[in-house]
Amino acid sequence: MKLRKHLLSLLPNITDIREIRQHWKTDILAGITTGIVALPLALAFGVASGVGAAAGLITAIVAGIVGAIFGGSRFQVSGPTGAMVVILAPLVAAYGIGVVPLLSLMAGVLLIVGAVLGLGQVVSLIPWPVIEGFTLGIAFILIFQQIPNALGVEVQAGGNTLLAGFAAIREASYPQAFLPLAVALITALLIYFLDKISPQFPGSLVALAIVTAVAVVAKLPVPTIGEIPNSLPAPHLPPISAEVVTALLPGAISVALLAGIESLLSARVAAGMVPGGTYNPDRELLGQGAANCAVGLFGGMPATGAIVRTAVNVRAEGRSRLSPVIHSLVLVGVVYGAAQIVSVIPLSALAGVLFVTAGRMIPVHSIRQISRSTRTDILVFVLTALITVVFDLIWAILIGVTIATISIMRGLARQSGVRKEYPTKNPRIRTLRIDGAMFFGVADRIEEEIIRLDDVWVVILRLSHVGVMDATGAKTLADIVTTLREADNHVLVVGLRTAHEELTESMGLTAAAGGKENFFDNIDDAVTAAEKFCSAK
């Protein structure tokens, strides 16, 4: 019954239609605005990932529609993103462009499985310094990725972004390289100043239009996007073989993890921007899975929920799933009506767009906050950023989460211990209160502290202050009680929380203590029982 209810919660419902009916007027305008903002980003991310501008457009169109219909957020706008480019570019360099649709399909299937398994809450388990660290790392990688385009050179660095950036600087032909570099910098400056004039103004699109017009009129010798299709391809299944699937599986897992994390973060941010805003994390995973499967069938690149475009949609009063669909229809209009214009956009101008995007990703405010936080938070932030830039995004997240988890466990261990209490003056009765967490990190230490008892007939173990307990802690408690009873101590257990009863019983604590009659809800009843035992003895 629970599974059926969970699966039904993942599907589109009547509420989606009601929201569209209620907000369709503002959603149309919001969708047009978001589509205008999305155009240069879709082109830029397609080029940056190595699959081409057309693939970026196709991805924004297909993912925007499918993600809106099936996703868990009514505000979410899906498509190619800078973070996905960071993972995808090395995979394209290693396996070629031809595997990208299959990679999208595989990642989509993994995301759907994650939705069915209810893994949508996983983003809440990732510490804030880790998220900010890999965001900073992604920003730097985007900058390094665009250095070759900004200098008008092609380099082969085996997919390593740092090597590609430094190789481009070394191999560029000077002073010829200063022309595309000037185009990139002028584009970036135009975007910066246009956005200063009005944040709602589509600065990226206007800057691209101005720079492209100047480049065409002046016949500047700079590389351009080149011809793109003036229609959408028919959906088809990409070539699939066991050998290729096996080779791509690690990459598909990385893509799925990033798509899930970034989409859920974006959905959470969007929900926080609207009073009463909500989202369904598991349905969001399903929506992104369906979007990536659809993108794979149309020959696009992996997609995810895009924080920048989603924020634009929310600020433009997009309030239902209609606005992301309108955003995609705007891009369809570009494919069918402006493909020739798009083909002459300089690659270095797109590099300028991504320079600005990367700059905006640098979490300046968060860096200030983290610098005033604990040393562990600073370490996690810095390490995550460095590992993201030098090695791999997924490893950065895993290592960052691991360090943060170890720090939390150390904190729990420091707060945990054994305290003596004196609810009775009887010297033959010893009351010991266990504080904090009873888990594998402290179990042995607590056991050593408790078993050192002399001239005691009754030991009262007070567990009401134990907030966390795992199997190791429960088994250790059973071992402690067994050791005390073997030393001829009568053991009474007080204040065991209801949430821990099943675990402790399965680990043998009830049997070790001699049965339920030696368990008490409050200390007074336990002391009375202890006094009776001493009197009888």
Secondary structure (H, E, C), 312-338: HHHHCCCCCCHHHHHHHHHHHHHHHHC
String of DSSP letters for 394-422: HHHHHHHHHHHHHHHHHHHHHH-EEEEE-
Mean pLDDT of the chain: 89
Which residue, 133, 178, 204, is CA-closest to 357?
204
Q: Does position 405 have pLDDT exceeding 60, yes or no?
A: yes
Which residues, listed in sequence order, are joined to residue 421 by a DSSP beta bridge?
431
Other residues' Cβ atoms within 10 Å of the Cβ of residue 368: 9
Q: 11: burial class by Cβ within 10 Å (0-12, 13-18, 19+)? A: exposed
pTM for the complete prediction? Answer: 0.78
pLDDT per residue over 73-117, tens digit each?
A: 999 999 999 889 888 988 998 899 999 999 999 999 999 999 999
Query: Dihedral, CA atoms, 125, 131, 132, 136, nearest 10 degrees?
Result: 170
Query: Dihedral, CA atoms, 333, 339, 343, 348, nearest 10 degrees?
Result: 0
What pLDDT sits at residue 452? 64
Q: Does position 378 have pLDDT exceeding 90, yes or no?
A: yes
Phi-psi region of 321 (alpha: psi -120 to 50; beta: other; left: phi over 0): alpha
Share of the chain above pLDDT 90, in %: 51
What pLDDT sits at residue 442? 74
Q: Does position 343 have pLDDT exceeding 60, yes or no?
A: yes
Query: Dihedral, CA atoms, 497, 503, 509, 515, nearest 10 degrees?
Result: 70
pLDDT category of residue 526 using cuts at 50, 70 and 90: very high
pLDDT per residue over 458-474, tens digit each?
A: 999 999 999 889 999 89
List of domains in the chain: 21-404 (no CATH), 416-536 (3.30.750.24)
pLDDT per residue over 475-493, tens digit each?
A: 999 998 998 898 888 999 9
Q: Does position 437 have pLDDT exceeding 90, yes or no?
A: no
Other residues' Cβ atoms within 10 Å of the Cβ of residue 320: 24
Sign of CA dihedral 22, 332, 58, 180: negative
Contact 261, 123 (CB under 8 A): yes
Share of the chain above pLDDT 70, in %: 97
Which residue, 302, 353, 357, 355, is CA-closest to 55?
302
What pLDDT sits at residue 121? 84
Cα–Cα distance, 79 to 300 (Å, whole number): 10
What pLDDT sits at residue 321? 97
What pLDDT sits at residue 156? 60
Enclosing H/E stretch for 437 = strand 429-438
The distance in angstroms from the start CA to the end CA of the chain is: 55
pLDDT per residue over 417-430, tens digit each?
A: 888 888 888 889 99
What pLDDT sits at residue 451? 64
Cα–Cα distance, 459 to 41 (Å, whole number): 68
Which residue, 478, 494, 492, 503, is CA-closest to 531?
492
Q: Which single residue is written with the structure tokens 């196709």?
A: 58
pLDDT per residue over 286-318, tens digit each?
A: 999 999 999 999 999 999 999 889 988 998 889
pLDDT per residue over 130-182, tens digit each?
A: 888 988 988 888 888 888 888 888 766 455 677 778 888 888 888 888 999 99
